[in-house]
Amino acid sequence: MTSCEHYHCVYISDHVIECIHRLGEQGAATRWPVIDEPAGLSVNAAHNLLVACPHVRKIKEFISDGEFLRELTLPDDVITPWHGIQLTSGQLVVCHGDHYDAVHSVCMISADGRHIGHAHGRQPGSDTCQYNVPFHLAVDNCEFVFVADVNNRRVALLSPTLHYIRQVVSSDKLKGDPLQLCLDVQRRRLYIADSEWKDGLWTSGRVVVCSV
């Protein structure tokens, strides 16, 4: 889920029926098909919606009424992209890697989607230079990157060139998995969706708030 201040609306990705739901400020609800299964959402500087489609390695761009603009097929090394955010330069920061993928990484991709620049992470693991399903991102005004590292149950902070800075939230502060991030830039607060998985079901959840 993400929001757009310009259009005063909220977008929700629905992987079951492969669509995007749009909720306007007056409660008006619309939806449109993505064709492929959607995952993480973000809004770029043009106020368009970017939709990560992990199973086809694509990021699709739509205007606010659902009109399709374009799609980027990501490089072969970008496996299972969960979330992408477009920077003011046009480059994209993308996190990728599912349970059985060989590469779990956060990378900088060119505006045309063809080339990888900076990257952090490679094979899955728990060291500071590794991830185990990096699932969601947040980027501040200076383009520092927050990464929700799901199976390691932590949130990392990277520099604008994707160098590791520090751990923002450790596993002892969470009860479950950090699945989504939302950064309030003005108040410098990071909101983390902390969800518990038990016996094959999401059983409980809460929001953890930290100052950054």
User: What domains does the chain contain, in order, with CATH numbers?
Assistant: 2-174 (2.120.10.30)
pLDDT at 201 over 90: no
Place of tokens 């450790």: 170
Q: How far is it, in rounded angstroms, from Cα 145 to Cα 37?
A: 25
Q: State residue 137's pLDDT score.
A: 98
Interval 121-165: pLDDT, tens: 999 999 999 999 999 999 999 999 999 999 999 999 999 999 999
Q: How far is it, in rounded angstroms, from Cα 47 to Cα 59?
A: 15
Interval 49-99: pLDDT, tens: 999 999 999 999 999 999 999 999 999 999 999 999 999 999 999 999 999
Interval 4-15: pLDDT, tens: 999 999 999 999
Q: How far is it, in rounded angstroms, from Cα 150 to Cα 154?
A: 7
Q: How far is it, in rounded angstroms, from Cα 152 to Cα 161?
A: 22
Confidence of residue 25 (pLDDT cuts 50, 70, 90): confident
What one-character DSSP code corresponds to residue 38? Answer: P
pLDDT at 30 over 90: yes
pLDDT at 206 over 90: yes
Q: Are 145 and 93 in contact (CB under 8 A)?
A: yes
Q: Are 143 and 134 in contact (CB under 8 A)?
A: no
pLDDT at 203 over 90: no
- The helix/strand/coil state of 56 is helix
Q: State residue 198's pLDDT score.
A: 82
Confidence of residue 1 (pLDDT cuts 50, 70, 90): very high
Q: Are 119 and 105 in contact (CB under 8 A)?
A: yes
Strand partners, 42: 50
Q: What angle do CA 63, 135, 124 make, to 5 degrees?
A: 140
pLDDT at 194 over 90: yes
User: Pairing mode, if any, of strands 201-211 and 189-198?
Assistant: antiparallel
